[in-house]
Structure 1
Amino acid sequence: MFIHKVATGARLRLVGMLIAGAFASLAAQAADTVTVGLAIPLTVDSGGVYGLGNELGFFKEEGIEVKTVVFQGAGAMLPQVAARKVTIGLPLPEPVLASYETGKTPLPVRYFYNAIPLNEIELAVLADSPIHSIADLKGKKIGVGALTWGTIPATRALLRQQGLTAGKDVDIVGVGVLGSGFLALKEKRVDALNFNSSWHAMLELSGTPLRRLPYPDTFRDMNSNGFVAHQDTLREQPQLLARFGRAYTKALIACEANPKLCVESFWRLQPESRPKTGDAAKQLDEAVFLVKRRMNRTLRNADGSLREFGKFNLPVIRDFVEAMYKSGEFNTANIPVDQIFDNSLVPEFAKFDVAQVQARAKAAQ
């Protein structure tokens, strides 16, 4: 059970002011534990943010301690957020949107930070595969990490747009994450993988060339994972979420500025993830490549300018909902996107000096 500790009350505020002012009052508070529920395991490009955020003190400066818990997909993780057993989750949008379908009970969660602004989910096949389009998947098998994954509804919708029905024309099967899924594709037990772009890049770096199947614009432009919290947490403790989002954003900027340190911090955070054999220098270079790739997609617009940190593109999400409805995946298009995706904390995420964070990261060893 998650327990949130924060010092409040007039007496503490008075003591804080008497001793050293408002800043000392904040520092005097016990660190708030923020438990982040993940639908898939951390990898070097996603986990370094937490590692470097800890090592450079970004989370500590915001008065929070972050713990991560991995669940078997969004279907297993979201009920934990809804029950407030974890503070924050990082799911794809589809399961939350689907809970607002007619006849269902909406999940009591709200997105407050757009962590992956573009669709990271891909359909990838071996480079020499005869499959060149989604329509070519007829009679084939698509591998996903687990059948609880939140990616599956959009994949079914993509198939329906091409006249294919999952379970009839195409099989979606669980193959496990990372290495077990990679092996399933290489051994041709599945014909395509429905993993994120970073995982596919990892498979390519290991020596297996891939080809991505083209997505329609509506699906390609839709954001992937975002941070959610219970609606009561957003209402009652917005500054807790703002502090987390700001620290997380600083860590993203730091990872972009010093990707090598970002990699090394993740390997220190999860020592079992560091490769045990092979060319260490080559492995470090490959890991740095993955971090650079992810940070660029997360932080930068197409022209290289910084995105507005954590902001959701509501018109794009509305187009996605309409496409899911027309594909038969949602039973209504009347889903309150503005209520589900909240941009109210976005100004808080940017309340720091980007250049200062970049300099701090570059100077760190």
Structure 2
Amino acid sequence: MITRRQWLQASAAFAGAMALGPRSLFAQATKTVKVGVGLKSINASVINLLIGEALGYNAEEGFKVQGMALGGNANVQVATNKGDVDVGIGVPSYALPILAKGEWGNAQWFYQYTYPYKWDVAVKPGTPIKAYADLKGKNIGVSDFGGTEYPVTRNVLKQMGIDPDKDVKWTAVGAGTPAGVALQRGAIDALAYYDTGFGIIEGAGIPFEIVQRPADLPMIGGQFLMALRERIKAERELFVGFGRSTAKASVFILANPAAGAKAFLKLYPETAPRGSSEEQAVKSVLEAISRRIKLYEPPYAGAKMGSIREDEFVTEAKMNGWDITDFSKIYTNDLIADINKFDVEKIRAQAKAYGQ
């Protein structure tokens, strides 16, 4: 039997909920999409996956996003396969060896959110190292051996005839500023890293020079959104919605990078340098993403935003001697047409007017 006190408590709770209005009630019912990223902490390198929350794109699709930094690509893959996250970031350097062994699970890539090629090698200003060929016999730093820069740079050296196991030494030096400090202090001869990582080092005021890239770099190493195949089929609208939010956010950032930075800091103010002003915080985000945003759009004529090209996987598999004849298990382009059903010019106009 419900007591009078319990009835009064329930009535008060119901009245309070009604007072919040329909929008608040709907927000409570909105699905939370857990997005797993292979980082030790959330940073601006995944800005286009997250700012749809601040810009209203996620709400338009009926969900909200929770970014989850899982520490590494292997952890993201496991979490996606187990269903602990709804969407994860997939990388070929980790996934293709699994596919080659016939051990690929039920995850499927459905949107390419960063295209090749985003890695470089940096050296201290004035060093005699000017080309990748000069790296032979040198100590090359990487953030850690689970980072994408390690397998990708190994592949490039191998393609040039440099044995990545015998001809160079590899040292894990940490991510971000610590990597730059290791280079500055001479603990390593060169630093292999990716675009947003170099942006962080640049923002810390550490000088470096980028080694000239070799000609005909392989188009490998894109990054992808993935989810369980059966869930994509059963909840197609949800994953189209997440892809569309990411595409809109990418267009928004390309149109007005500073506005994208402000939207990101609205969600993650803790990522700003301690004691920085708003202007300084925005500048730090822009320094981190300036190289990455150029890779949001496909480098292939006529390709739609987020579309996936199998020949990238074929190239990487051949470079590594992975025997893979069927890549169809690992990706799909079935959602791309629907993901791109939005008014691009409207998003650009929104970006240009943001904050005014």
TM-score class, shorter: 0.7 to 0.9
Unpaired segments of 5 or more residues in structure 1? 1-23
Runs of 4+ in 1 over 4 A off after TM superposition: 277-283, 289-293
Partner of residue 178 from structure 2, selected from 173, 180, 188? 180
What secondary structure is seen at the aligned counterpart in 2 of 1:338? coil
Q: TM-score, normalised by structure 2?
A: 0.82
**Within 5 A, what are the aligned runs for 1:197-346?**
197-205=195-203, 206-215=205-214, 217-219=216-218, 221-277=219-275, 281=279, 284-285=282-283, 287-288=285-286, 290-291=288-289, 293-299=291-297, 301=299, 308-325=304-321, 330=322, 332=323, 334-346=324-336
2:59 is aligned with 1:60 = yes
2: distance between equivalents of 1:31 and 1:282? 34
Distance change (3 Å), C-alpha of 1:335 and 1:171: farther
* CA deviation profile, 1:87-132 (whole Å, cap 9, x unmatched): 1111321111111224x51233211101111221222222322222
Q: TM-score, normalised by structure 1?
A: 0.80
Report if aligned partners of 1:30, 1:63 keep a CA contact under 8 Å in 2: no
2:93 is aligned with 1:94 = yes
**Within 5 A, what are the aligned runs for 1:70-149?**
70-102=69-101, 104-149=102-147
* CA deviation profile, 1:202-261 (whole Å, cap 9, x unmatched): 323524132234145352x22421111122222322222111000111111222233222
Partner of residue 362 from structure 1, selected from 346, 352, 356? 352
2: distance between equivalents of 1:354 and 1:190? 45
1: distance between equivalents of 2:36 and 2:107? 13
Shift of 1:281: 4.3
2: distance between equivalents of 1:238 and 1:336? 24
Unpaired segments of 5 or more residues in structure 2? 1-22
Report if aligned partners of 1:299, 1:306 keep a CA contact under 8 Å in 2: no
What secondary structure is seen at the aligned counterpart in 2 of 1:337? coil
2: distance between equivalents of 1:306 and 1:298? 14
2:34 is aligned with 1:35 = yes
What secondary structure is seen at the aligned counterpart in 2 of 1:352? coil
Report if aligned partners of 1:145, 1:176 keep a CA contact under 8 Å in 2: yes
Amino acid at match of 1:192: A
Distance change (3 Å), C-alpha of 1:224 and 1:301: closer
Which segment is superposed worse, 236-245 or 156-165?
156-165
